[in-house]
Structures are given as structure tokens and as C-alpha cells.
């Protein structure tokens, strides 16, 4: 086992990916992180006190995982979905009745969406009670609020896409709430719906927002968010384990 | 260096990963064990026992996709044998569809049956799916699907639908509801009703019309005693006829308590000749087109009766009863016969109130009730303050969204079909003080009307899928002929150029069909051509000049030269060949009589020569359906020569 491990990590193939051979020193381990686009968003070192469940309840990670699941299932659903008034509802019916595992993927997307809203919200609560919005983390708290808004917008825009009664009226309510805003309300509603009533334009608009603009914006902000977590000195634990009051031996 | 702690965690990690993989496998497993797949496998197993070799079905979702019709029907995923007529004794859902005119590949399933065709589970396609607004029509109501496209009153192969539409016409639903395609029925107007009826009769009639006439068309409005009293007083106050109505006082001969026997006997003879019971019922016998008259002498004033027999049109131009050409004396004798015979012997003299004091304020209250129950929907009454007060529009009742139906707390399944059925059965169960009357219908009739109403929906069917619309006739006979046709109500039984009711024959080509002499004779003494027919042509007591005019008009106008231009050679050889064809080869005698032998269905051949013109016989036997699409006379595919031989034989019979 160990020899196989050695063979693998000393191979050219391995090196071509991680560009670093020596993992036994702290420098070597750091180089792995620095030299990799995907990993360099992670800190080289993490405090042990931030790793146990009570510190973060893993809520940030759960939110991000749900985002990944939503992206993957969303792409799958896009393969079957036409954002057009005569077709949208029937595409959903097709997913339900004729597409292999269509119901599963659609439900996964839907429940993950609900869960993500909850997880992001709980994550913010955790951050708030841990006091992680204080200096120097004000900026990242702001990022977090933006991400919460993006999550809610994704949820709202996705609601219209099945084009059923629930969708139609939920979006009607939402649009009328925008309408009630002072001064800019009516313009805002017009902008949101792409017209005065919910119709083909609204569907296209919500589809593009849901599938392109909002996910890209969220992905970008998530990157910034992670990067700042690291730069601002890692997470602030909510609870600490009593044993972790003792300094690390190594 | 893996510590123990890390090792423990990797075990947990490994187990959770496996668990997740297991969970992930649920969806494909469910997909694999889907209902339709099980059905298809079952089908492939069952066809091994079939007497004829059946091709097994290739496993996979099947669908009929007709974008133009908006149909994506996956019904055939389970109903795999639906269009395979070779299958015998195979259980549902594999049974082949009963033979029908439409090809399921061309029309799909849901345009007729409704249901969620796109679904692939039993529950969601044909079951009670809450969020699918056109659930499958229950099997007894399937004919509603035919009526979606076929808007004519009688639809071939849809007896229940046709019955429902005829019933709706007969019950005059259109009086209170907007129903495209239905015409208002003739209902007696109420002007002068106080002169026609007694108050006592009105009270009995308003309380429950069926207790007076078993076949009464007026439904039961469930009026309470107070309402009945007010309405009776209100109606009795209309005791003058409109100015246009000229009333002749009852002749002295009829004022006696019992008319002379001679008159009664004479009247009875004319009554039979006039075939009054072709339309009217007397003690449970007779036609159903007009009201019962078994007790008419006790139900109307004698003056009204006399005047009505003289000229029904005097009271209302639209009345379907013909104006018989009785002479003065004949009118009197017929009236005398009716007065002496059609009495209500059960009436108790004591029960009739001698002097009645009207309810205070009856007029205003009566008018309100009259309007409330929309009496004017059926009955005309020319008085200030009368208005229409219609019920709901039923144009698209067959597709009214189910959530919009008010089920109240009635314990029935919440479907449109059940709602309509129960609503007609008893409207008051949904709404205590509903204005809709009770029609007291049998189960079959309720079903028929439900089917007819369900067929009134807003389904969008492209025009190339619709049957050719039968053109509405604009024929309106003019001049003297028009007047006569109107006077004798010919259109009540006959059709000419697409106008009228087809109870008797279509007269559009009558001039090419029968000889002039025969026609004249027939007007004098009509008889039925087919022994089994009950609705018979009455003797209308036409005047000599009228018979002359009508016969001449018909034989010059209602002709088709193509029919007339046929030459029939008559010689012994041709006649003998024709005889053989009629008796042996085509077996015509199983329905038609020759020399007193043969069937009873068609008209006897012996008299045909005197009646029908040669050209007509020739053309008719070649293609009977061309002239009357619903005739049961078969098209035997005769050659021209054979048809001529048979014609010659029939003409030769004496």
C-alpha cells in the first residue's frame, strides 16, 4: 500500500498536476496549495479549533455543496427545458413522466434549492453570533449579505420556470411587491416582468437570470468570499471545545 | 502516517459513501420497475397464449404525438394491444379498442376520452388527479367526447349523446340557459290564460304538473302553497286575449250539457281521420309531440277548445299543430266529440272553490315570482314589468374548471361529471333555494343529458379535424305554397331542402319520386307506406283546390331531371330476370312484401309501381343512402342492368 502510494506521488503524472514533490515539509505542503488554481483558495494551514462541528456547524460548506448540486442538476434540467410559454409546462411534465430519473433530478434541484436558502440563512446566523462581522471581517460580512440576496433571487426566479399556477401567482405577488416600492416601483415591476403582465418575456427574463446571470454572479462572489475568509484569518468559531484550549503539540 | 482517529473516520466515510450510493440507486431502480414496463412484460407473456401469432412489444414508452392537435398520448405504453384487432380474450388494459370510425394513430386518445395523456402512471393518467383539469371521462359518459366535434343533434354511433341533446331540446333548457345550437321550443303563451283555464286547474298544475299530466313537459318548481296561490291569482288576472285574436262564441249546439249522439259519432270519425293521437296522448296511448288531451274537456273552457280546433294559429303563430281544413260543421262535431268523451270523471265538484278571494297584493307579488322563476323563459306574456332572468351560461360547462364548481357539502366525488349529473338530478341539494326546477328524470336520461352537457366544452380542435359542418338550411317556401306549408305545419314531420324535422319523409325530391295522381289521392286519404310505422300522416281535410295546388307544385318544383331521365325496357325476359334478382339473388323479400308474402320492414312492392316513378325506383335501389343517409335499405351494389331489371319487375307487379 505504502509503496504504491509512493510510486503514485513520485510519478511524472502526479508532478505534472501538483508541480511539487515533497509533501513532508511545511514548505512542500504550502507549495501544493500555492501552485494550484483550485486549491489556492484554501488556507495552507487551518486552526484545529475551527474544525470541529460546534465551530461552524459546517453551514458554509453545506451551502456551497448545495450550490454545486444545484448547478449540476440545473444543467441536467436545462437539457430538457424550453423557456417558452407553450412548451415550459409540458417539458416539466415530460421530466416527470418520460425522462429517465427526471423526477429524481427535478426533486433534487427543488429540495436543494429550499435547503440552500435555509443553509445560507443559518450560516449567517452562525456568523453573526460568532461575531465574525467585526473588524477585519466587515467586507466579507457584506459579501455574505450579497450572497444571501443572490440565493433568494435564484430561488425566486426559479419559481416561475415550471410555468404552473403556483409559479404564476407567486411571481405575481412578487412583482406586485416590487410595484409597491415608492417612486421606482412601477418601473421596477416593468423591468422585472419585461412588460406589464407575466408572459413570454417574463419567462425568458427569469430563465436567463436563473441560469446565467445569477449563478455566475454567485460563483464569482463565492470565490471572493472564500478568499477573504482566508485573508481575514480564517473562521471565527462559534463554540470551542474545552480540550482545544490546550495548544497544539506539533 | 495514519493515526487511529483518522482510520476511524475513514471507516465512517467509507460507510456513508456506500449508503449514499445506495440511496442514489433508488431512483434508477424505481425507473426500472415502473408500471408501464410491468404492463408491457405482462403483455409479452400473455400473447404466448393467443391463438394467432402476435408480435411482442418492444419495451419502452410509446406515444401518439400529434402536434397539430396538441396531443402527446402515452396511453399506448400500457394499452399496448389497443389497435390490434387480432387479440382475443385478453384482459384490460390490453384489450383492443371497439371498432370505431376514427384511427387512434390519427386522433390519439385524449381528444375523446380526456385524461392526462402525457402521464405514464395509472393514477395520474386515468385516475382522479387533483391538478389535472380534464380527468378521463368515466366510461358511461364517453360519448361526450364524440360531441366535442360532432355538434349536430343526432350523432351516429353515439346514442346516449343524441338522446341527451334531443332531451335538452325537448325540455327547453335553452329557456333559462345560454346553450349554443339549441332552439327555443314552442310553449303556450299565457295571454288570456284566465279565459282558458280555471283557477283550480292552475293551482293543481303549479303545485306539480306531473300530477295533472304524467307526460307534462313543465318541470316541478317546488313552489310552496303561498307561491302557488299568488301565481294562480296573478295568472287568472289575464282574462283577455290580445286584440289580434278573434274569438267566436261557443255555438248553441255545443252549449248543451250533452251533445247529440249523431254529432259525437261524426266527430269521433273525423277525430280518427285527423289522427290526433299521432301527436297527442289519450290515457297513456298516442304520440309524445303534443300534450295529453285525455281530460281536456275538464281542463280548458269549452269556448277556448272550440276556437282552438277551428284555428290554433289564431292564438299563437308558432304553434306546431296544423290548422285542419275542417268545415264549420266538422269543427263543431269534433269539439262535440271531445267535450263528451275527454272529461275528467274523477273531479269532485265539492273541491272547487265557489268564490275565491284573491290574495292581497297578488299582482305585484305574482309578477315578482313570475320573474324570479324566469317563467317568461318559456311562456310568453305581454305585460309591463316582465323580464328575462336567466340561469348560468352553459356554453362551456363541459370544460368549466373543477375548482369553480360549487359542491357545497354534498357527499360526491368532486368531478365535473358527478357534479353535472347530481345537479340535474336535484339542483336543490347544492343550493337550498335554487331556482332550477326538478325534471324528475330517469337514470338513463340523467346520464344522457350529462353526456350532452359535457360535450359542450372549449377544446381547441383544428378545423381540418372537424367534421364538415352541416349547412343550416335557409330554405323558406314562398307564396301560396309557403302559406299552405305553414298552415298545415308540414315541417313538423317533413324535411324540404334541409328544413324541418325528419319524422316522416324528406320531400326535397318528392316530385321525381311519386306520380301526380298518386299524390292527389294520398292527400285525400293518407295511409302509411310501412306497416310497422306508428307516426302516420293525418288527414288534414284539405280543400280540393289546395290538393290540386300542392300536388302540382310538388311535382313541378321538387324534381331532379337526372332521376327522371331513365328508360326502363319492359318485356317478359327482363321482368323474369328482375323477379329472380328480387326473390333469389338479393333476397329483397325478407323486408318487402310481394303478393302478400315477405317481410314487414319496407313498403310492399305491389303498390310501388302505382306510387313511385320508374326513375326513382331505379336510382333508389342503386344507392338508397344517397337519398336518405339513415335508411336501412342496403346498397347491394347493383349493376345498371340489374337495377333496370328489378325496376321493370316491380313496375310490372299489380
- For residue A187, give how far its alpha carbon lies from the nearest alpha carbon of chain B (Å): 34
pLDDT grade, residue B350 (50/70/90)? Answer: low
pLDDT tens for residues B171-197? Answer: 999 999 999 889 888 899 998 899 899
Torsion of CA A88, A93, A99, A101, to 10 degrees: 110
**Three-state SS annotation for B329-385:** HHHHHHHHHHHHHCCCCCCCHHHCCCCCCCCCCHHHHHHHHHHHCCHHHCCCCCCCC
Architecture of domain B193-351: Orthogonal Bundle (1.10)
Instruction: Kindly list the residues from chain A whose CB atom is less than 8 angstroms away from the CB atom of residue B61.
Output: 98
Residue A19 scores a pLDDT above 80: no
**Contact residues for A249 (Cβ-Cβ < 8 A; gap 6+):** none
Residue A248 scores a pLDDT above 70: no
Q: Which three cell numbers stand for residue B74?
A: 402515452
CA atoms within 13 A on the CB side of B51: 5
Interface A-B: count of C-beta contacts within 8 A: 26
Task: Indicate if the alpha-carbon torsion angle B357, B360, B361, B365 is positive or negative.
Answer: negative
Comparing CB atoms, the residue among B26, B28, B119 nearest residue A97 is B119
Mean per-residue pLDDT, A145-158: 96
- Cell 250533452 belongs to residue: B258
- For residue B131, give how far its alpha carbon lies from the nearest alpha carbon of chain A (Å): 10
Of B609, B513, B494, B521, residue with least CA distance to B564: B513
Q: Which three cell numbers stand for residue A215?
A: 449563478
Residue B545 scores a pLDDT above 80: yes
**Which pLDDT belongs to residue A186?**
93
User: Taking a C-beta distance cutoff of 8 angstroms, is the pair B523, B273 a contact?
Assistant: no
User: Taking a C-beta distance cutoff of 8 angstroms, is the pair B207, B231 a contact?
Assistant: no
Asked whether the beta carbons of residue A104 and residue B119 sit closer than 8 angstroms, the reply is: no
pLDDT tens for residues B436-463? Answer: 999 989 999 999 999 999 999 988 888 8
Residue B347 scores a pLDDT above 80: no
| Across A108-117, B67-76, B111-120, B505-514, least confident range | B505-514
Mean per-residue pLDDT, A219-241: 87
Mean per-residue pLDDT, B348-371: 79
Asked whether the beta carbons of residue A98 and residue B31 sit closer than 8 angstroms, the reply is: no
Q: Which three cell numbers stand for residue B276?
A: 290526433
**Which pLDDT belongs to residue B84?**
87
- For residue B30, give how far its alpha carbon lies from the nearest alpha carbon of chain A (Å): 9
Instruction: Kindly list the residues from chain A whose CB atom is less than 8 angstroms away from the CB atom of residue B30.
Output: 104
Rounded-to-integer distance, Cα B429 and Cα B228, Å: 22
Based on its alpha-carbon atoms, the radius of gyration of chain B, rounded to whole angstroms, reads 33
Q: Which three cell numbers stand for residue B414?
A: 368532486
Residue B379 scores a pLDDT above 80: yes
Rounded-to-integer distance, Cα B63 and Cα B109, Å: 10
pLDDT grade, residue A250 (50/70/90)? Answer: very low
Asked whether the beta carbons of residue A98 and residue B61 sit closer than 8 angstroms, the reply is: yes
Residue B639 scores a pLDDT above 70: yes
| Across A106-120, B283-297, B385-399, B528-542, least confident range | B528-542
**Contact residues for B547 (Cβ-Cβ < 8 A; gap 6+):** B520, B523, B524
Mean per-residue pLDDT, B526-545: 75
Residue A245 scores a pLDDT above 60: no
**Which pLDDT belongs to residue B354?**
63
3-state SS, residue A226: helix
Based on its alpha-carbon atoms, the radius of gyration of chain A, rounded to whole angstroms, reads 23
pLDDT tens for residues A57-84? Answer: 999 999 999 999 999 999 999 999 999 9
Asked whether the beta carbons of residue A103 and residue B27 sit closer than 8 angstroms, the reply is: yes
| Across B64-73, B262-271, B621-630, least confident range | B621-630
- For residue B7, give how far its alpha carbon lies from the nearest alpha carbon of chain A (Å): 15
Asked whether the beta carbons of residue A97 and residue B28 sit closer than 8 angstroms, the reply is: no
Residue B530 scores a pLDDT above 70: no
Instruction: Kindly list the residues from chain B whose CB atom is less than 8 angstroms away from the CB atom of residue A104.
Output: 26-27, 30
Residue B1 scores a pLDDT above 50: no
Comparing CB atoms, the residue among A90, A97, A104 nearest residue B120 is A97
- For residue A135, give how far its alpha carbon lies from the nearest alpha carbon of chain B (Å): 35
pLDDT tens for residues B31-51? Answer: 899 999 999 999 999 999 888
Q: How far is CA B267 from CA B250, B465, B579, in A?
A: 16, 57, 46
Rounded-to-integer distance, Cα A31 and Cα A249, Å: 23
Residue B578 scores a pLDDT above 50: yes
Rounded-to-integer distance, Cα B358 and Cα A184, Å: 70
User: Taking a C-beta distance cutoff of 8 angstroms, is the pair A49, A240 a contact?
Assistant: yes
Q: How far is CA B459 from CA B42, B69, B149, B161, B400, in A?
A: 35, 10, 9, 17, 11
**Contact residues for B304 (Cβ-Cβ < 8 A; gap 6+):** B195, B196
- Strand B285-286 with B281-282, pairing: antiparallel
Listed ranges B41-45, B267-271, B515-519; the one with the highest mean pLDDT: B41-45
Asked whether the beta carbons of residue B74 and residue A97 sit closer than 8 angstroms, the reply is: yes
Which fold is adopted by the domain B151-178+392-465? Cytochrome Bc1 Complex; Chain D, domain 2 (1.10.760)
Residue B533 scores a pLDDT above 70: no
Residue B529 scores a pLDDT above 80: no
DSSP state letter for B135:
P
| Across A93-97, B154-158, B176-180, B396-400, least confident range | B154-158
Mean per-residue pLDDT, B555-560: 89
Rounded-to-integer distance, Cα B535 and Cα B499, Å: 19
**A90 CB within 8 Å of a chain B CB:** yes
Which fold is adopted by the domain B564-652? Cytochrome Bc1 Complex; Chain D, domain 2 (1.10.760)
Comparing CB atoms, the residue among B31, B63, B74 nearest residue A100 is B31
Q: How far is CA B167 from CA A189, B90, B106, B219, B447, in A?
A: 53, 38, 32, 13, 11
Better-scored residue on pLDDT, A131 or B565 = A131
**A101 CB within 8 Å of a chain B CB:** yes
Domain ranges in chain B? 1-33, 35-136, 151-178+392-465, 193-351, 479-559, 564-652
B→A contacts (Cβ < 8 Å), by residue, are: 26-28, 30-31, 61, 63, 72, 74, 118-121, 124
Q: How many C-beta atoms lie closer than 10 Å to residue B513's C-beta?
A: 27
User: Taking a C-beta distance cutoff of 8 angstroms, is the pair B245, B258 a contact?
Assistant: no
**Which pLDDT belongs to residue B351?**
57
**Contact residues for B250 (Cβ-Cβ < 8 A; gap 6+):** B302, B303, B306
- ipTM, two decimals: 0.79
Q: Is B633 exposed, middle or buried (0-12, 13-18, 19+ CB in 10 A)?
A: middle
- Cell 310481394 belongs to residue: B594
**Contact residues for A169 (Cβ-Cβ < 8 A; gap 6+):** none
Rounded-to-integer distance, Cα B105 and Cα A158, Å: 37
Average pLDDT, chain B: 87
Comparing CB atoms, the residue among A93, A94, A101 nearest residue B31 is A101
Of B105, B100, B32, B95, residue with least CA distance to B73: B105
- Cell 370544460 belongs to residue: B399
Residue B543 scores a pLDDT above 90: no
Q: Is B92 exposed, middle or buried (0-12, 13-18, 19+ CB in 10 A)?
A: exposed
Better-scored residue on pLDDT, B559 or B344 = B559
Comparing CB atoms, the residue among B27, B63, B124 nearest residue A104 is B27
- For residue A65, give how far its alpha carbon lies from the nearest alpha carbon of chain B (Å): 15
The percentage of chain B sitting over the pLDDT mark of 70, rounded to a whole number, equals 96
Kindly report the length of chain B. Answer: 654
Which fold is adopted by the domain B479-559? Cytochrome Bc1 Complex; Chain D, domain 2 (1.10.760)
Catalogue all structural domains in chain A, each as residue range(s) with its CATH number. Answer: 52-234 (1.20.810.10)
Q: Which three cell numbers stand for residue B453?
A: 352537457
Instruction: Kindly list the residues from chain A whose CB atom is less than 8 angstroms away from the CB atom of residue B121.
Output: 97
- For residue A161, give how far its alpha carbon lies from the nearest alpha carbon of chain B (Å): 18
3-state SS, residue B387: coil
Listed ranges A118-122, B243-247, B553-557, B563-567; the one with the highest mean pLDDT: A118-122
Angle, to 10 degrees, between the axis of helix A200-208 and the axis of helix A185-193?
A: 80
| CA B210, chain centre distance (Å) | 21
- Cell 440565493 belongs to residue: A151
**Three-state SS annotation for B499-566:** EECCCCCECCCHHHHECHHHHHHHHHCCCCCCCCCCCCCCCCCCCHHHHHHHHHHHHHHCCCHHHHCC
Amino acid at each position: 500500500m505504502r509503496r504504491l502510494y509512493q510510486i503514485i506521488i513520485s510519478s511524472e503524472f502526479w508532478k505534472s498536476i501538483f508541480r511539487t514533490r515533497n509533501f513532508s515539509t511545511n514548505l512542500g505542503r504550502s507549495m501544493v496549495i500555492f501552485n494550484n488554481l483550485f486549491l489556492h483558495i484554501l488556507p495552507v494551514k487551518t486552526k484545529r479549533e475551527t474544525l470541529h462541528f460546534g465551530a461552524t456547524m459546517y453551514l458554509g460548506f453545506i451551502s456551497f455543496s448545495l450550490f454545486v448540486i444545484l448547478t449540476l442538476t440545473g444543467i441536467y434540467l436545462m437539457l430538457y427545458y424550453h423557456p417558452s410559454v407553450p412548451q415550459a409546462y409540458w417539458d416539466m411534465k415530460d421530466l416527470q413522466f418520460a425522462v429517465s430519473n427526471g423526477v429524481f433530478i427535478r426533486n433534487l434541484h427543488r429540495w436543494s434549492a429550499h435547503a440552500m436558502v435555509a443553509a445560507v440563512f443559518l450560516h449567517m446566523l452562525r456568523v453573526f453570533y460568532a461575531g465574525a462581522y467585526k473588524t477585519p471581517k466587515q467586507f466579507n460580512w457584506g459579501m455574505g449579505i450579497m450572497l444571501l440576496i443572490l440565493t433568494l433571487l435564484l430561488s425566486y426566479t426559479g419559481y416561475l420556470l415550471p410555468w404552473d399556477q403556483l409559479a404564476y401567482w407567486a411571481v405575481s405577488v412578487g412583482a406586485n411587491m416590487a410595484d409597491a416600492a415608492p417612486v421606482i416601483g412601477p418601473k421596477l415591476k416593468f423591468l422585472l416582468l419585461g412588460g406589464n403582465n407575466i408572459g413570454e418575456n417574463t419567462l425568458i427574463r427569469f430563465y436567463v437570470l436563473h441560469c446565467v446571470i445569477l449563478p455566475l454572479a454567485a460563483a464569482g462572489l463565492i470565490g471572493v468570499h472564500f478568499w477573504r475568509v482566508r485573508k481575514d484569518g480564517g473562521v471565527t468559531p462559534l463554540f470551542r471545545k474545552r480540550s482545544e484550549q490546550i495548544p497544539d503539540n506539533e | 502516517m495514519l493515526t487511529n482517529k483518522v482510520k476511524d473516520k475513514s471507516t465512517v466515510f467509507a460507510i456513508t459513501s456506500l449508503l449514499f450510493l445506495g440511496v442514489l440507486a433508488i431512483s434508477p431502480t424505481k425507473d426500472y420497475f415502473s408500471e408501464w414496463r410491468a404492463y408491457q412484460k405482462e403483455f409479452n407473456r400473455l400473447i404466448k397464449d393467443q391463438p394467432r401469432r402476435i408480435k411482442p412489444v418492444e419495451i419502452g414508452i410509446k406515444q401518439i404525438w400529434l402536434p397539430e392537435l396538441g396531443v402527446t398520448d402515452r396511453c399506448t405504453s400500457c394499452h399496448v394491444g389497443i389497435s390490434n384487432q387480432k387479440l382475443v380474450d385478453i384482459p384490460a388494459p390490453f384489450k383492443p379498442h371497439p371498432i370505431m370510425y376514427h384511427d387512434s394513430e390519427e386522433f390519439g386518445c385524449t381528444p375523446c376520452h380526456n385524461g392526462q395523456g402525457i402521464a405514464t402512471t395509472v393514477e395520474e393518467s386515468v385516475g382522479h388527479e387533483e391538478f389535472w383539469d380534464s380527468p378521463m371521462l368515466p366510461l358511461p359518459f364517453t360519448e361526450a367526447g364524440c360531441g366535442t366535434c360532432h355538434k349536430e343533434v343526432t350523432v351516429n354511433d353515439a346514442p346516449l349523446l343524441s338522446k341527451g341533446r334531443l332531451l335538452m331540446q325537448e325540455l327547453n333548457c335553452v329557456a333559462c340557459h345560454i346553450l349554443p345550437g339549441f332552439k327555443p321550443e314552442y310553449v303556450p303563451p299565457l295571454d288570456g290564460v284566465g279565459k282558458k283555464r280555471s283557477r283550480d286547474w292552475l293551482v293543481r298544475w303549479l303545485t306539480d304538473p306531473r300530477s295533472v299530466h304524467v307526460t307534462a313537459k313543465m318541470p316541478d318548481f317546488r313552489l310552496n302553497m303561498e307561491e302557488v296561490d299568488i301565481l294562480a291569482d296573478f295568472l287568472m288576472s289575464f282574462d283577455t286575449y290580445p286584440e289580434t285574436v278573434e274569438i267566436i262564441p261557443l255555438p248553441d249546439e255545443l252549449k248543451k250539457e250533452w251533445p247529440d249522439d249523431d254529432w259525437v259519432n261524426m266527430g269521433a270519425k273525423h277525430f280518427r281521420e285527423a289522427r290526433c293521437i299521432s301527436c297527442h296522448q289519450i290515457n297513456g296511448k298516442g304520440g309524445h309531440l303534443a300534450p295529453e288531451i285525455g281530460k281536456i274537456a275538464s281542463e280548458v273552457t269549452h269556448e277556448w277548445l272550440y276556437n282552438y280546433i277551428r284555428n290554433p294559429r289564431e292564438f299563437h303563430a308558432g304553434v306546431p299543430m296544423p290548422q285542419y281544413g275542417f268545415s264549420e260543421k266538422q269543427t263543431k262535431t269534433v269539439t262535440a266529440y271531445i267535450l263528451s268523451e275527454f272529461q275528467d270523471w274523477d273531479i269532485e265538484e265539492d273541491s272547487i272553490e265557489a268564490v275565491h278571494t284573491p290574495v292581497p297584493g297578488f299582482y305585484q307579488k305574482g309578477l315578482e315570482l313570475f320573474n324570479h322563476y324566469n317563467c317568461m323563459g318559456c311562456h310568453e306574456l305581454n305585460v309591463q314589468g316582465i323580464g328575462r332572468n336567466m340561469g348560468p351560461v352553459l356554453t362551456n360547462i363541459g370544460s368549466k374548471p373543477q375548482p369553480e364548481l360549487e359542491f357545497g357539502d354534498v357527499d360526491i366525488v368532486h368531478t365535473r361529471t358527478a357534479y353535472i349529473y347530481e345537479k340535474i338530478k336535484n339542483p336543490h341539494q347544492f343550493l337550498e333555494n335554487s331556482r332550477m326546477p326538478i325534471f324528475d328524470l330517469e337514470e338513463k336520461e340523467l346520464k344522457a343529458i350529462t353526456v350532452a352537457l359535457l360535450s359542450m366544452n372549449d377544446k381547441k380542435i383544428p378545423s381540418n379535424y372537424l367534421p364538415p359542418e352541416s349547412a343550416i338550411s335557409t330554405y323558406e317556401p314562398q307564396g301560396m305554397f309557403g302559406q299552405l306549408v305553414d298552415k298545415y305545419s308540414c315541417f313538423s314531420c317533413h324535411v324540404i331542402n334541409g328544413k324541418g324535422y325528419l319524422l316522416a319523409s324528406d320531400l326535397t325530391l318528392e316530385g321525381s319520386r311519386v306520380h301526380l295522381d298518386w299524390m292527389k289521392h294520398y292527400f285525400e286519404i293518407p295511409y302509411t307506406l310501412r306497416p310497422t310505422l306508428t307516426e302516420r300522416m293525418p288527414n288534414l281535410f284539405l280543400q280540393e283546390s289546395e290538393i290540386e295546388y300542392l300536388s302540382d307544385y310538388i311535382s313541378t318544383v321538387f324534381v331532379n331531371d337526372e332521376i327522371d331521365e331513365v328508360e326502363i325496357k319492359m318485356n317478359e325476359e327482363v321482368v323474369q330476370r328482375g323477379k329472380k334478382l328480387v326473390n333469389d339473388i338479393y333476397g329483397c323479400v325478407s323486408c318487402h312484401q310481394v303478393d302478400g308474402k315477405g317481410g314487414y320492414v319496407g313498403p310492399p312492392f305491389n303498390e310501388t309501381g302505382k306510387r313511385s316513378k320508374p326513375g326513382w325506383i331505379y336510382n333508389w335501389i342503386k344507392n338508397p343512402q344517397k337519398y336518405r343517409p339513415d335508411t336501412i335499405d342496403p346498397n347491394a351494389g347493383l349493376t345498371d342492368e340489374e337495377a333496370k331489371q328489378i325496376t321493370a319487375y316491380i313496375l310490372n307487379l299489380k
